[in-house]
């Protein structure tokens, strides 16, 4: 049995976890390191247990764990006293159900998509859309825009992997693009001309009608509704959606993050020698901004190495998704890839100032039990798939 | 399988592309711009600066600024940098309580965010701080827009003021920072969302003395959004005249509105307070003085004080009777001998009027006539008819804190006095005394039913396009009869002192008996003529008779208003 285990994935994850422990120690203290180590042991145990389960088992209990996750999110949202409602607190431990909701949603969506061979119609999109929208909206209401946004790339990639043509996917979500573009008329016109040309050469009447009607409606309704609102109502909405809503001073951390990484130079300032992190990163330096400390202390070399390990891990996951003959397992691994990959890119992108700031942990490296365990559970399931991939 | 390989290649390229983007971005930061960031990281030379959004201006109906902003110097503290001795010396310079300052900046969770601990400091304090800035680590001085009220006391109740947030508000209100102000009372509170704008943050590089060298990024990471301006219906010049006419009285309330559309021209309450002092953050002692003086200067009498209406209520009783077709204007009752005996109680009138019909009863404000009229038509007719005029409910004005007063009906009396409530209560109600209570604003609105031929308006202070009317079903004929009588009050009755030579003014006097002292004088008047442009309700507390105290002032106010509009027309025509 053992020889069939995918050691490449294990090695990559182990290296990332070690980097994580080093950075948690560097950015926090021994106490935090101990806690993280305990979380890591729990996470590895969970991964080992999950890696022994057959994928069929997951496909069978998928609805149950999905419903369980939704119920947890509901309980959190409606019983918890004050905002933000992101954690269940048990003693000194805070559990974040949204991390496990990602896991449950990926598995359930995979089991749904696996049962459907043909994914050509728009109507095929409705149920998958609902499956991710329910936990996504619940988490958005917590409010946790950072975790909620992950569900969108998960949906896109899993649909794509399940056989939905990319053009259909684009077309389905194009009214959203239209609504966003409608604020600047020139951009919208340019977008719409491009879309029309695309639809013409696409040569599908149904697509054409949906594309034109959907986009025109979205493009018209959005500015109309917007203009009906009072200025202060508009302001409230932009405030709600803007990434600058950060009571924890994230904008300040973002500029400090760029300074930390930039001042690291090529070889870095050395382990435990970062100056920026000691002064300026509170309280997120060991969670959302751990990568900037890595960039400061280990420089460009550290960043390139870490990035390569992540890239290697994701490539292995992609390979696994391709070579697995079981449709459910394949789609599930693709979903896990979307989840971990997107989260990694967004987290690193924030620290480098490439994307707007939202709270997203870096898989395997950021401090935090829920995130670590959920990521390891996902890896455990992937290992289970790799062990049994030739058995069907 | 072919399809699968295509998808695999596509996703593989995305993964590799993302890795390349990350590495390129890192090279840009660490290699190309590395020197700049090393310099910035060396000596902790970056500060964030809180940029207060300028609050929206408030204008009067003629475009005069009645609230604007002025620059002022503030002192702020960066928690992560300040030490005990610095805090000690800065609180000495600023003459503030050290503990209060610490409590304040502890409220900010981000230890690198400067927290303003003093606003509007003097030049003397500024120069002392600037001289010692090298020893004051973690202290910053800057300029911010401060709220300014050019008319001070005059518009204090109407405008309200801005003050610092309380500890509880900081926790409750998500989009406020400890560095912000919040509007309290009046326009400032009611229109807080439009006025406040959105404060921003910028990052600057500073030298060793804390002076700005450059901005880190050209674009502010959190941009400032200026507050929106508010255009009100208030006439500040007329308000000034009102204040001058009321100079010799201690406590008064005055509401002037345009009866055609409900626009409030004057909303004046005396005594007032200076809203400018709140900008500094009030000391506890000052706050107590403002709140505990018996004259209650913070109290907006025009829409918070509930007064008995007194005789200004009589026309409504007459209107109820005429509208219900229970009497004609020729109706007479028992002769007024200066008093009326009901069982063992004696109800007085202020004068021996003799025998009179409705018109003279209103013009000369005869209590005895109205005792009998009230009893004749009964409580239900009075209550049902007069509730249409908005007594006992809020007017819906766009200002906070309005009181709704009290309009007693049968249920009310039964609840309060049991089954045995007596005709005496109706007697009192008929002359506007007893349980009936209304704010000056409510009285003014109720009188628009005469000025506006049956419609009552919704009073408002911010200019709107669609005025809201409440159409009553009171008969036009009855209204016309009362209107003629109200003109008679000023022409030859108790309101003679409100008379103007060149305009027809109508109105009604009221004198409210007050167990605590001198009577309150009330006069409600409108003019000119039958389609008036202004309606004035004036209550002067403890000043005496409505006819002798309030009426002449209202006459002057109406004259001042009409003269100013005449001037405007003249200016427009030429």
pLDDT tens-digit series, residues A187-208: 888 888 988 888 888 777 888 8
Q: Is B378 left (phi over 0), alpha (psi -120 to 50) or beta?
A: left
Asked if residue B41 is part of any domain, the answer here is: no
Among A230, A249, A259, most B C-beta atoms within 10 A, so best to mutate, is: A259
The answer to whether residue B269 scores a pLDDT higher than 90 is yes
Counted domains in chain B: 2
B137: Cβ–Cβ under 8 A, 6 or more apart, which residues?
B81, B82, B83, B86
Query: Are both B169 and B250 inside the same structural domain?
Result: no
- The span from the CA of B365 to the CA of B420, in Å, is 29
At A234-268, the pLDDT tens digits run: 665 665 555 444 445 666 777 778 888 888 888 88
Query: Are both B195 and B242 inside the same structural domain?
Result: no
Query: Are both B276 and B128 inside the same structural domain?
Result: no
Q: Give percent of chain B above pLDDT 90.
A: 40
Inspect the interface and report whether the beta carbons of B40 and A263 lie closer than 8 Å.
yes
Asked if residue B403 is part of any domain, the answer here is: yes
Residue with the bigger pLDDT between B372 and A119: it is B372
The answer to whether residue A284 scores a pLDDT higher than 70 is no
Q: Which of A167-181, A241-255, B40-54 tops mean pLDDT?
A: A167-181
Residue A190's Cα: distance from chain center in Å?
A: 31
Pairing of strands B212-215, B230-231: unpaired
Residue with the bigger pLDDT between B220 and B199: it is B199
Query: Are both B256 and B295 inside the same structural domain?
Result: yes
**What pLDDT score does A3 carry?**
47
Residue A298 pLDDT grade (very low, low, confident, very high; cuts 50, 70, 90): very high
Query: Are both B299 and B183 inside the same structural domain?
Result: no
- The span from the CA of A378 to the CA of A389, in Å, is 16
**What pLDDT score does A231 carry?**
67
**End position of a domain, from candidates B231, B259, B279:** B231
The answer to whether residue A276 scores a pLDDT higher than 80 is no
Query: Are both B381 and B509 inside the same structural domain?
Result: yes
Asked if residue B299 is part of any domain, the answer here is: yes
Which tokens hold the place of B54? 């300028």
Which tokens hold the place of B10? 């596509």
Residue B157 pLDDT grade (very low, low, confident, very high; cuts 50, 70, 90): very high
Helix or strand or coil: residue B452?
coil
Chain B residues close to A262, C-beta within 8 Å: 29-30, 33-34, 36-38, 40-41
Across the range A287-308, mean pLDDT stands at 92
Inspect the interface and report whether the beta carbons of B30 and A352 lie closer than 8 Å.
no
Inspect the interface and report whether the beta carbons of B11 and A276 lie closer than 8 Å.
no
The answer to whether residue B208 scores a pLDDT higher than 70 is no
Residue B25 pLDDT grade (very low, low, confident, very high; cuts 50, 70, 90): very high
* Least confident span in A64-68, B202-206, B312-316, B388-392: B202-206
Residue A202's Cα: distance from chain center in Å?
A: 32
**What pLDDT score does B210 carry?**
66
Asked if residue B28 is part of any domain, the answer here is: no
Interface contact B194, partner A, CB < 8 A: yes
Across the range B280-286, mean pLDDT stands at 67
Chain B residues close to A337, C-beta within 8 Å: 11
**What pLDDT score does A244 carry?**
43
The answer to whether residue A159 scores a pLDDT higher than 80 is yes
Asked if residue B127 is part of any domain, the answer here is: yes
What CATH number is given to the structural domain containing B416?
3.40.710.10
Interface contact A143, partner B, CB < 8 A: no
Residue with the bigger pLDDT between A12 and B280: it is A12
Interface contact B26, partner A, CB < 8 A: yes
Which tokens hold the place of B408? 């007693």
Chain A residues close to B22, C-beta within 8 Å: 303, 307, 345, 348-349, 352
Inspect the interface and report whether the beta carbons of B22 and A349 lie closer than 8 Å.
yes
**What pLDDT score does A243 carry?**
44
User: Residue with structure tokens 């301006």?
Assistant: B229
The torsion of the CA quartet B128, B130, B136, B142, rounded to 10 degrees, works out to 120
Complex ipTM, two decimals?
A: 0.89
- The span from the CA of A161 to the CA of B20, in Å, is 23
The DSSP element (H or E) to which A385 belongs, if any, is: helix A369-387
**What pLDDT score does B555 carry?**
93
Helix or strand or coil: residue B144?
strand
Residue with the bigger pLDDT between A77 and B21: it is B21
Query: Are both B278 and B178 inside the same structural domain?
Result: no
Across the range B487-502, mean pLDDT stands at 90
Q: Give percent of chain B above pLDDT 70.
A: 96
**End position of a domain, from candidates B194, B211, B231:** B231
The answer to whether residue B561 scores a pLDDT higher than 90 is yes
Chain A residues close to B11, C-beta within 8 Å: 157, 318, 337
Asked if residue B11 is part of any domain, the answer here is: no
What CATH number is given to the structural domain containing B162?
3.90.1310.10
| Mean pLDDT over the full length of chain B | 87
Residue with the bigger pLDDT between A181 and A318: it is A318
Residue A314 pLDDT grade (very low, low, confident, very high; cuts 50, 70, 90): very high
Owning domain of residue B453? 236-573
Residue B192 pLDDT grade (very low, low, confident, very high; cuts 50, 70, 90): very high
- The span from the CA of B338 to the CA of B332, in Å, is 16
Asked if residue B524 is part of any domain, the answer here is: yes
Query: Are both B345 and B494 inside the same structural domain?
Result: yes
Query: Are both B515 and B466 inside the same structural domain?
Result: yes
A75: Cβ–Cβ under 8 A, 6 or more apart, which residues?
none
Query: Are both B300 and B257 inside the same structural domain?
Result: yes
| Mean pLDDT over the full length of chain A | 84
**End position of a domain, from candidates B177, B204, B231:** B231
Interface contact B48, partner A, CB < 8 A: yes
Query: Are both B259 and B134 inside the same structural domain?
Result: no
Asked if residue B7 is part of any domain, the answer here is: no
Query: Are both B164 and B255 inside the same structural domain?
Result: no
């Amino acid at each position: 049995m053992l020889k069939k285990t995918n050691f490449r994935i294990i090695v990559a994850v182990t290296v990332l976890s070690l980097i994580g422990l080093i950075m948690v120690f560097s950015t926090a203290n021994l106490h935090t390191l101990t806690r993280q180590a305990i979380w890591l042991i729990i996470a590895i145990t969970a991964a080992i247990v999950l890696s022994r389960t057959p994928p069929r088992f997951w496909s069978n209990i998928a609805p149950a764990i999905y419903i369980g996750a939704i119920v947890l999110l509901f309980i959190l949202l409606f019983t918890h006293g004050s905002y933000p409602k992101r954690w269940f607190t048990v003693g000194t431990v805070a559990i974040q159900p949204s991390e496990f909701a990602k896991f449950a949603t990926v598995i359930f969506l995979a089991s749904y998509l696996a049962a459907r061979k043909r994914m050509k119609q728009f109507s095929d999109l409705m149920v998958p859309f609902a499956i991710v929208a329910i936990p996504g909206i619940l988490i958005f209401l917590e409010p946790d825009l950072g975790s909620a946004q992950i569900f969108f790339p998960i949906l896109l990639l899993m649909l794509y992997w399940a056989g939905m043509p990319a053009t259909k996917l684009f077309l389905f979500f194009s009214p959203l693009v239209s609504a966003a573009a409608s604020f600047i008329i020139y951009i919208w016109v340019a977008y719409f001309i491009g879309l029309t040309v695309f639809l013409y050469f696409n040569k599908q009447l149904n697509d054409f009608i949906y594309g034109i009607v959907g986009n025109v409606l979205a493009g018209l309704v959005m500015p109309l509704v917007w203009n009906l609102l009072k200025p202060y109502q508009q302001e409230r909405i932009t405030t709600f959606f803007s990434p600058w809503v950060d009571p924890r001073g994230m904008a300040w951390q973002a500029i400090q993050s760029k300074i930390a990484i930039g001042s690291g130079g090529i070889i870095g300032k050395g382990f435990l020698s970062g100056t920026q992190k000691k002064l300026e990163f509170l309280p997120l330096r060991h969670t959302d901004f751990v990568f900037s400390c890595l960039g400061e202390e280990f420089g460009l070399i550290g960043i390139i190495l870490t990035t390569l390990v992540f890239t290697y891990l994701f490539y292995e996951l992609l390979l696994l998704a391709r070579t697995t003959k079981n449709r459910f397992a394949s789609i599930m691994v693709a979903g896990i890839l979307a989840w971990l990959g997107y989260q990694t890119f967004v987290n690193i992108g924030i620290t480098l100032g490439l994307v707007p700031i939202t709270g997203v942990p870096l898989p395997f490296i950021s401090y935090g039990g829920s995130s670590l365990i959920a990521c390891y559970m996902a890896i455990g399931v992937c290992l289970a798939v790799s062990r049994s991939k030739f058995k069907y | 399988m072919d399809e699968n390989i295509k998808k695999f290649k596509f996703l593989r390229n995305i993964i590799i592309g993302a890795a390349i983007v990350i590495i390129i971005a890192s090279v840009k930061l660490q290699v190309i711009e590395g020197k700049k960031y090393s310099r910035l990281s060396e000596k902790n030379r970056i500060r964030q600066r809180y940029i207060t959004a300028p609050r929206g201006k408030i204008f009067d109906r003629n475009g005069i600024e009645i609230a604007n902003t002025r620059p002022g110097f503030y002192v702020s503290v960066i928690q992560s940098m300040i030490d005990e001795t610095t805090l000690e010396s800065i609180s000495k310079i600023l003459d503030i309580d050290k503990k209060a300052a610490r409590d304040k900046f502890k409220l900010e969770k981000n230890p690198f965010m400067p927290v303003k601990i003093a606003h509007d400091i003097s030049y003397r304090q500024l120069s002392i701080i600037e001289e010692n800035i090298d020893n004051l680590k973690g202290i910053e001085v800057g300029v911010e827009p401060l709220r300014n009220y050019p008319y001070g006391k005059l518009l204090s109740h109407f405008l309200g003021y801005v003050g610092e947030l309380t500890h509880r508000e900081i926790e409750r209100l998500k989009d406020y920072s400890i560095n912000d102000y919040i509007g309290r009372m009046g326009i400032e509170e009611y229109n807080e969302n439009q006025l406040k704008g959105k404060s921003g943050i910028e990052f600057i590089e500073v030298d060793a003395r804390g002076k700005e060298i450059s901005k880190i990024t050209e674009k502010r990471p959190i941009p400032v959004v200026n507050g929106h301006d508010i255009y009100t219906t208030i006439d500040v010049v007329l308000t000034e005249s009102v204040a001058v006419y009321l100079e010799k009285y201690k406590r008064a309330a005055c509401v002037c509105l345009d009866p055609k559309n409900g626009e409030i021209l004057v909303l004046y309450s005396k005594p007032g307070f200076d809203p400018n002092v709140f900008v500094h953050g009030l000391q506890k002692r000052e706050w107590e003085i403002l709140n505990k003086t018996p004259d209650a200067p913070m109290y907006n009498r025009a829409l918070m004080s509930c007064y008995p209406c007194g005789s200004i209520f009589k026309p409504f009783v007459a209107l109820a009777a005429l509208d219900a077709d229970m009497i004609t204007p020729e109706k007479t009752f028992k002769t007024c001998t200066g008093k009326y005996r009901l069982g063992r109680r004696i109800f007085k009138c202020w004068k021996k009027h003799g025998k009179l019909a409705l018109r003279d009863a209103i013009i000369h404000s005869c209590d005895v006539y109205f005792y009998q009229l009230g009893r004749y038509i009964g409580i239900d007719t009075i209550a049902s008819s007069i509730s249409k005029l908005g007594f006992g409910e809020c007017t819906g004005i766009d200002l906070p804190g309005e009181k709704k007063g009290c309009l007693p009906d049968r249920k009310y009396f039964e609840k309060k006095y049991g089954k045995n409530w007596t005709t005496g209560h109706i007697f009192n109600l008929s002359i506007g005394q007893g349980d009936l209570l209304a704010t000056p604003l409510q009285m003014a609105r109720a009188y628009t039913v005469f000025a506006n031929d049956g419609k009552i308006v919704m009073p408002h202070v911010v200019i709107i396009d669609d005025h809201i009317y409440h159409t009553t079903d009171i008969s036009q004929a009855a209204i016309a009869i009362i209107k003629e009588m109200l003109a008679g009050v000023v022409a030859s009755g108790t309101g003679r002192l409100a008379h103007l030579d060149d305009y027809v003014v109508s109105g009604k006097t009221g004198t409210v008996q007050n167990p605590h002292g001198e009577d309150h004088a009330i006069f409600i008047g409108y003019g000119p003529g039958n389609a008036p442009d202004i309606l004035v309700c004036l209550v002067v507390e403890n000043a005496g008779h409505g006819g002798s105290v309030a009426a002449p002032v209202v006459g002057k106010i109406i004259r001042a208003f009409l003269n100013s509009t005449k001037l405007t027309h003249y200016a427009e025509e030429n």
